[in-house]
């Protein structure tokens, strides 16, 4: 029983992280149909910022975390301005391929300008200590992660319901042109979407760094792949779908880790993908895919 509770906690924290990552992707996709593969590199930007903080002998955790998150937000908004604006109104394939290209460029920029080797980031190790909850032992990091994700989701919901820009973003997912016709500046909506996406990436980065303890140019590859899968399963473009997909993916991964015999250990990724593929065949547009209606009754 305790073992189950333990694994449930694992699934929760995995799921929380994937949900965070998936939300970052889903926000951008829901508004402009762009699958932002460069999202992983934003996480790496956060990681390298932490390295820079360490190099500047700034070890105060608040500064390190704050700087990483800020860098992620700024980096994300910069990407939008520079790389994605030309393909803003293009079809999804063009956007997807552009994002691929941006991702490769960034990965190689890290390689070229910083280092091809992993660099240690130790300032966040303190966040990870064992905590006993009754009979089960979990890591404090898992608790932080689950809690933070919950707070983030609530904050996001409030933003999307209470603020004009949030309403505009929701409306834009169905009819961007009409949002512009209501006098709301497209640039602002896009900038805000990428800012939120960057914020989510930055927060995820903090947890990833606390766990991994190092950053390398290809750090972003795995997270963005997971985020991608989570979004797809949940229904690409749907925000609740992204959260659902994230937790589902976390659960499946933990289940695979637990259930697969030792010998098949290396195949976890492949099995996970296999299950995802099967979900897609059952529900090709994802489980909670967003509506396509445009609000006209003709």
Partner 1 sequence: MLNVTDLRVYHGPIEAVHGITFQVKPGQCVSLLGPNGAGKTSTLSAITGIARATGTIAFDGTDMGGLPVEARMRRGLAISPEGRRVFANLTVSENLRLGAAMRPEGQAERIARWFDTFPILGERRDQQAGTLSGGEQQMLAIARALMSEPRILLLDEPSLGLAPRIVAQIFAMIETLRQQGMTILLVEQNATQALRLSDYAYLLNNGRIVAEGTAGTLGQSDALMAELTGIG
Partner 2 sequence: MTLSRAQRRGIVGAALLALILIAIGLAATWFGSRYQLRLVYGAYVNLLVVLALQVFMGNARVTNLSHSAFMGIGAYAAAICVTPEKIKAISLPDAPWGLNAFALDPVSSALIALVLTGLVAWLVGVFIVRLTGIGATIVSLAVLVIVHGLFLYRTDIFKGNQAFFGIPQLFNLTWVVGLAVLVVFITRGFRESRWGVALRASADDEVGAAAMGVDIHRLRLMAWVLSGVLLAVAGIAYAYYLGTISARPFYFNHVFLTLAMLILGGMRTVTGAVLGTFLISFGLEWVRWLETGPVVLGIDLPEALGLSGIVLGGVIVLTMALRPGGLMGDREIEDLILK
Contact residues: partner 2, CB under 8 A: 35, 83, 86-87, 90, 92-98, 100-112, 116, 217, 221, 225, 228-229, 232, 236, 264, 266-267, 269-270, 273-274, 276-277, 280-281, 284-286
Is residue 44 close enough to count as binding partner 1 by CB under 8 A? no
The phi-psi region of residue 229 (left if phi > 0; otherwise alpha if psi is between -120 and 50; otherwise beta) is alpha
Residue 86 binding partner per list partner 2, partner 1, none, with a CB distance cut-off of 5 to 8 Å that depends on partner kind: partner 2
Identify the CA nearest to 61 among candidates 50, 71, 75, 74: 50
Q: How far is the CB of 31 from partner 2 (least distance, A)?
A: 15
Given 161, 222, 258, 274, the residue binding partner 1 (CB under 8 A): 161
| C-beta separation of 20 from 242 below 8 A | no
Residue 175 binding partner per list partner 1, partner 2, none, with a CB distance cut-off of 5 to 8 Å that depends on partner kind: partner 1
- Interacting stretch for partner 1, rule CB under 8 A, among 21-29, 127-135, 170-178, 264-272? 170-178
Identify the CA nearest to 250 among candidates 274, 231, 266, 226: 226
Is residue 117 close enough to count as binding partner 1 by CB under 8 A? no
Given 78, 87, 143, 174, the residue binding partner 1 (CB under 8 A): 174
Residue 63 binding partner per list partner 1, partner 2, none, with a CB distance cut-off of 5 to 8 Å that depends on partner kind: none
Q: How far is the CB of 166 from partner 1 (least distance, A)?
A: 10
Residue 177 binding partner per list partner 2, partner 1, none, with a CB distance cut-off of 5 to 8 Å that depends on partner kind: partner 1
Contacts with partner 1 by CB under 8 A lie at 161, 164, 167-168, 170-171, 173-175, 177-186, 290-291, 293-298
């Amino acid at each position: 029983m305790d073992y189950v509770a333990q694994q449930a906690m694992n699934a929760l924290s995995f799921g929380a992280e994937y949900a965070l990552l998936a939300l970052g992707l889903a926000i951008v996709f829901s508004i402009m149909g762009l699958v932002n593969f460069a999202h992983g590199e934003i996480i790496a930007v956060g990681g390298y910022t932490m390295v820079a903080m360490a190099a500047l002998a700034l070890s105060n955790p608040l500064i390190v975390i704050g700087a990483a998150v800020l860098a992620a937000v700024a980096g994300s908004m910069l990407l939008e301005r520079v790389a994605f604006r030309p393909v803003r109104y293009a079809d999804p394939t063009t956007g997807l391929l552009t994002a691929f290209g941006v991702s490769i460029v960034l990965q190689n920029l890290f390689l070229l300008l910083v280092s091809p080797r992993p660099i240690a980031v130790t300032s966040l190790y303190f966040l990870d200590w064992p905590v006993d909850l009754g009979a089960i032992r979990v890591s404090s990091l898992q608790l932080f992660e689950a809690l933070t994700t919950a707070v983030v989701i609530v904050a996001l919901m409030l933003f999307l319901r209470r603020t004009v820009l949030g309403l505009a973003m929701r409306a834009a997912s169905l009819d961007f042109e009409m949002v512009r016709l209501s006098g709301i500046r497209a640039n602002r909506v896009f900038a805000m979407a990428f800012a939120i996406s960057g914020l989510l990436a930055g927060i995820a980065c903090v947890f990833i760094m606390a766990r991994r303890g190092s950053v390398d140019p290809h750090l972003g590859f795995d997270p963005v792949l997971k985020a991608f899968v989570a979004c797809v399963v949940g229904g690409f473009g749907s925000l609740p779908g992204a959260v659902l997909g994230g937790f589902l993916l976390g659960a499946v991964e933990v289940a695979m880790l637990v259930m697969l015999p030792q010998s098949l250990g290396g195949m976890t990724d492949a099995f996970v993908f296999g299950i995802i593929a099967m979900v897609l065949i059952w529900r090709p547009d994802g489980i909670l895919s967003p509506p396509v209606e445009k609000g006209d009754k003709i």
